[in-house]
Amino acid sequence: MFEKVKIINCPIYMNKSDIKKCIDLLGKDYTKIKCNIYFINNEIDFKNYAKDKLEDSYYEYKSGSLHGLCCSESSGASTIFVFIKNTISSYGVERCYYQKSILRVLYHELRHAYQHKELNLPDYKKELDADMFAAKIMQIYDKEINEIFKNYELYK
């Protein structure tokens, strides 16, 4: 459904088709987004996918906690990074906490990509809007998301 959204690198314990299913939950409005998504698990991923695309000052974030970044180009395309180093040790993989915490960051960043393309919000409203959007999607589709990740408990 989301042909313009490309997942280049997946988080450990999550696969591309399941992440795509989660993105599909956003509905057809979001098919307008053009973006590449990189999940950065570790320093090797950082070196391979993020380092060259980010400013030097961003390098310090690679060892930080779970967070995302959406870089938008004037063409309307976006690059999303979700940095997930240490997430596995904070959440564990059972009961979907790990997957859901990552997913929430992904929805937040996809909203930034959507804001860039479709919404003309003042800067000070962007973070709150993205946070509320991610929280709303997680709540509305809780059942569907649990279903998508139900088998992941096997990785415990």
- Beta strands 67-72 and 77-83: pairing type? antiparallel
Please, which residues have CB within 8 angstroms of residue 67's CB and are 6 or more apart in sequence?
61, 82, 83, 105
Q: Which residue sits closest to Zn ion, CB atoms considered?
A: 130
- C-alpha neighbours within 13 Å on the C-beta side of residue 141: 22
- CB closer to Zn ion out of 127 and 147: 127
Least distance between Zn ion and beta carbon 130 (Å): 5
Report 75-134 residues binding Zn ion (CB under 5 A): 127, 130
Least distance between Zn ion and beta carbon 15 (Å): 25
Main-chain dihedrals φ then ψ at residue 20, nearest 5 degrees: -60, -40
Contact assessment for residue 41 and residue 85, using Cβ atoms and an 8 Å cutoff: yes
Least distance between Zn ion and beta carbon 12 (Å): 23
- CB closer to Zn ion out of 130 and 148: 130
Least distance between Zn ion and beta carbon 152 (Å): 26
User: What is the contact surface with Zn ion in residues (CB under 5 A)?
Assistant: 127, 130
